[in-house]
Amino acid sequence: MEVSSILANITSAGNFNNNLASNITRNLASTTKKNDTLECELELKDGLFEFIICGVLLNLVSLFGILGNTISMIILSRPQMKSSINYLLIGLARCDTILITIAVMIHGLPAIYTYTGYMFDYKFYVFPKIVKYLYPVSLAAQMVTVYLTLTVTMERYVAVCHPLRARSLCTYGRARAAVICIVIVSLLYNLPRFWEVEYKEEIHWREQVKVYCVMAASLRESRMYITLYVHWLYFFVYYACPFAALVVFNTAIYKRVRKANRDLQHLSRHQRREIGLAMMLICVVIVFIICNILPMISNVYETLYYNPPVWMIQTGNLLVTINSSINFIIYVIFGRKFKRLFLKLFCSSNFFGQGRDSPEFQTNDESLVTNTTNIELRNSIRRSHRSNNIGSRNNNTLMVNGSMRQNNKSSIRCASPGPCVYYPARSPVRSPSQISRISTQNGWSKKEVTETVLL
């Protein structure tokens, strides 16, 4: 989540600075229930919009997002899906799941109390004690999400625009090292956030019981810290630099994809697969940028002016949550292999026939392999049928000379490297007793007769 959106929710339970509280108070003065009633140093507000956006929509989207990201991690972790790009997508799904969970705990659940009055214990006893740790972890998770998306884009750029270097650069080990480095740097960068939030005891105005309210720590009151670290560094590290890089890399990928589509007949199957994967990830990046535009505007507004409108902050929270929840839908729509594994693992196999995938989801690679196999199979059947007819005539001719055992072996072998298909000779089938009499006449031993029948 963006910093302004999280601080706005924290501010609803505690005052970070007097100017911020007074500004929100002025904006909400027309909707207050009691103009002279304060709760954690803020005037009470109606909270209907916050309840709909955060208390209802955000919580529902979060449930779907957690389920979708869990399914994505299961499918991408399958042995047949092991690759550098899928390892990065697994890390992105894990980080999105953490971000969604924290969004529910920071924004979704407190918004229920704002309008309905429920979740009182969570609002005033649980939330103030855990927000000190959830707030910096959520910012670190957001930073990991941003730079993992950038890493995925760079990986596709190398694979599509510089395919000769992809084998050495786009490896599973490098992907794992990139994820570890991004996580460590994000945690170190957001370490000062742990000292921004505190809580204090108060007596609730209505219940007359002791409650806890969130307040700003001494570090948060430093104007230089707010200007440099919270506003400007946050804008450049979280938005300006990664967004510019995403636009540059995805523009280059899109130009290469358009050129490849014009020469589609000259591309190999591997190149077509890389192009298709690049298009899917371009959609992921487009959704990422669209959902983060409003939070970026909110941050710029707060940096240059003062406080963004409350509706802008809460809508930005919802959009960031949607971005972290929607990747599963993109994978299902554009990823054929992902879709087939999803249907195989989580849908009934009887829907498409027992033990078979739907023909609709076969890739071009599979179609080519299937057609080639069928041609070879038909040719091998014809050749083996001819060889068996010749072998059966040879068996009838050479049976008198006592060499039937060797010719049976040669007739069973296929005449081509294709699948082995055996057609029996047209001579009448003899019973074991008839074979025994013939073997006695030709001087075969009992052991040789048994081996001949088994062959």
> What angle in degrees, to the nearest 10, is found between the helix axes of 84-103 and 310-325?
140
What does the chain come to in residues? 455
* Residue 403: per-residue pLDDT: 43
pLDDT at 421: 37
pLDDT value at residue 37: 58
The whole model's pTM is what? 0.69
| Domain regions of the chain by residue span | 3-351, 364-454
Question: Mean pLDDT, 10 residues at a time, over the chain (455 residues)?
Answer: 46 35 33 52 78 95 96 93 92 96 95 89 93 94 96 91 85 94 96 92 87 89 90 93 94 85 68 78 92 91 84 93 94 88 78 39 35 44 52 45 42 43 44 49 44 37
Residues 6 or more apart from 327 whose CB is under 8 A from it? 68, 69, 72, 89, 92, 93, 96, 284, 287
Q: What is the pLDDT of residue 207?
A: 83
Which residues are CB-neighbours of 387 under 8 A, at least 6 positions away? 411, 414, 415
Model pLDDT, residue 386: 54
- Rounded-to-integer distance, Cα 257 and Cα 263, Å: 10
Q: Give the pLDDT score at 257.
A: 82
* pLDDT for position 375: 43
What per-residue confidence (pLDDT) applies to 310?
87
Q: Look at residue 196 in the predicted model and tell me its pLDDT.
A: 93
DSSP string for 245-264: HHHHHHHHHHHHHHHHHHTG
Torsion of CA 400, 403, 405, 411, to 10 degrees: -100
The pLDDT value recorded for residue 159 is: 86
> In angstroms, what CA-CA distances link 273 with 90, 258, 264?
19, 15, 12
Contact 142, 2 (CB under 8 A): yes
CATH superfamily entry for domain 3-351: Rhodopsin 7-helix transmembrane proteins (1.20.1070.10)
For the CA atoms of 97, 102, 107, 109, what is the dihedral angle to 10 degrees? 100
Half-sphere exposure of 424 (CA within 13 A, CB side): 6
8 Å CB contact between 107 and 119: no
Q: How far apart are CA 128 and CA 131, in angstroms?
A: 6
